[in-house]
Structure 1
Amino acid sequence: MDRLVFTSNATIKEQATARQVLVNDLANVSTVGFKSSYDVALQSVKVEGPGFDSRYQAQAVARDQIRLTPGPVMATGRPMDIALAEKSVLTVQAPNGDVAFTRRGDLRVNPQGQLENGSGHLVLGNGGPIAVPPGMQVSINPDGTIFARDPAQTGAAASVFIDQLRLRDASSVNLGRRQDGLFKVDGQTDGTDIALGGTVPKLIPQALEGSNVSAIEAMTRLIDQSRSFETQIRIIKEMKTLDESGASMMKPA
């Protein structure tokens, strides 16, 4: 009976890892450009203690590897909104100064005159953070080039080249999630850049990409995990009842 209780308890513990990943995905179902992670993976862990050396147990490990499946694209008409096409990612500056990546494209100019996204991460260009002259109207082309013009100028105002978004194609690399929620090259140290390949990354101007998390699928999986948890708790309670019944039979009459 103790072994059955141990097995049920281990099942609850291993499912908690998958539940954390699922709850995080569900909480970001409406976040712009959010990408879900792959489910937890199982690895064999040797059981220490008395017994045979061949005893191994399956243990769940959160991989947190990014799914770059595209989310729904919503046209906004806002000149500074962009949606990353296919498996392109936008290079931004992490809070600690590292180079990181994201799919969030709700761009804006902060009070310091620098371009940032809705999460407050500075957007990087060819020479570092992109600075926008004050009072200029910004437009972004599908190749990532940024132009600005003075709306107060009369007549046909010429657009001035500002910089180019540092876009990267992530179709040939695996991306992992950093502690701050941004993306990094999986298996590499934080701040590692993605090498340029043959595919030219593109974006969709005046549009935003929604989260690729399916709310219905996530809720269904969460309900399934809740029922599995209840089943394991019932097993533990039944074992407790059987153990108490066995103990009462051993009492002297």
Structure 2
Amino acid sequence: MDRLVFTSNATIKEQATARQVLVNDLANVSTVGFKSSYDVALQSVKVEGPGFDSRYQAQAVARDQIRLTPGAVMATGRPMDIALADQAVLTVQAPNGDLAFTRRGDLKVNPQGQLENGSGHLVLGNGGPIAVPPGMQISINPDGTVYAKDPAQPPTAPSVLIDQLRLRDATDVKLARRQDGLFKVDGQADGVDIAVGQGQPRLIPQALEGSNVSAIEAMTRLIDHSRSFETQIRVIKEMKSLDESGASMMKTA
């Protein structure tokens, strides 16, 4: 009975990681450009100890690899909003200064005159963070080129190229989630760049990409985890009851 209680308790512990992933996905259903992770994988681990040499139990293995399935694209009409197309990612500067990647494209100009996204991460261009001249109107083309125009000039005046968004194609690259929520190359140190391939990453101007998390699917799986948790607790309580009944029968009169 003790071994059965141990197995049930181990199951509850191993499912905790998967529940955390689901809760995090649900919390980011409405986050712009959020990408879910692959499910927690299970592997069989041999249990050492007395008894037959055939005891195995499942052990959770966290695989926080990014699922780049596109989310719903929403047209906003805002010149500084972009939605990354296909498997493209946007290069930004992480809070610690490292190079990192994201799919969040709600861009704006901060008080220092630099381009950043809705999370406050500086957007990188060819020479570092992109600086925007004061008072200029910004427009972004599908190839990632950033143009600025003085609103005081006539409408026919040409726009001026100020920089190029550092876009990367992650089609053949596995991405993992950093501690700050940004992406990095899986298996590599933080700050490693993605090699430039033959394909040209593209974006959709004046649009935003929604989260790729299905709220209904995530809620259904979370309910399934809750029922599994209740089942394991019921097993532990039943074993406790059987153990108490056995102890009572062994008592001498």
Q: Shorter-normalised TM-score: what interval?
A: over 0.9
The 3 A distance-change label for structure 1 pair 160 and 60 is same
Q: Is the 8 A contact 1:33 1:105 kept in 2?
A: yes
The 3 A distance-change label for structure 1 pair 243 and 104 is same
Q: Is the counterpart of residue 87 in structure 1 residue 115 in structure 2? A: no
Aligned twin of 2:183? 183
Q: Partners of 1:89 and 1:50 in 2: how far apart?
A: 52
Report deviation, 1:58: 2.6
2:58 is paired with a residue whose SS is strand
Q: Partners of 1:47 and 1:247 in 2: how far apart?
A: 28
The 3 A distance-change label for structure 1 pair 232 and 57 is closer
| Residue correspondence of structure 1 range 1-253 to structure 2 within 5 A | 1-49=1-49, 56-154=56-154, 156-253=156-253
Q: Partners of 2:121 and 2:137 in 1: how far apart?
A: 21
Counterpart AA for 1:67? R
Q: Partners of 1:150 and 1:54 in 2: how far apart?
A: 75
Counterpart AA for 2:40? V
Q: Is the 8 A contact 1:21 1:62 kept in 2?
A: no
Q: Normalised by the size of structure 2, how large is the TM-score?
A: 0.97
Q: Partners of 1:77 and 1:212 in 2: how far apart?
A: 21
User: 1:125-176: CA deviations, max 9, x gaps?
Assistant: 0000000001000000000000010001235222000100000000001000
Q: Partners of 2:240 and 2:160 in 1: how far apart?
A: 76
Counterpart AA for 1:222? L
The 3 A distance-change label for structure 1 pair 155 and 101 is closer
Report deviation, 1:16: 0.3
Q: Partners of 2:151 and 2:50 in 1: how far apart?
A: 78
Seq. identity, % = 88
1:179 is paired with a residue whose SS is coil
What number of residue pairs does the alignment pair up?
Answer: 253
Q: Partners of 2:182 and 2:124 in 1: how far apart?
A: 14
Q: Normalised by the size of structure 1, how large is the TM-score?
A: 0.97
2:163 is paired with a residue whose SS is strand
- Of stretches 179-188 and 147-156 in structure 1, the one that deviates more from structure 2 is 147-156
Q: Partners of 1:138 and 1:53 in 2: how far apart?
A: 68
The 3 A distance-change label for structure 1 pair 242 and 142 is same
The 3 A distance-change label for structure 1 pair 155 and 236 is closer
Gaps of 5+ in 1: none
Q: Partners of 1:52 and 1:245 in 2: how far apart?
A: 27
Q: Partners of 2:10 and 2:74 in 1: how far apart?
A: 43
1:59 is paired with a residue whose SS is strand
Q: Is the 8 A contact 2:91 2:99 kept in 1?
A: yes
User: 1:173-199: CA deviations, max 9, x gaps?
Assistant: 100000000000001110010001121
Counterpart AA for 2:193? D
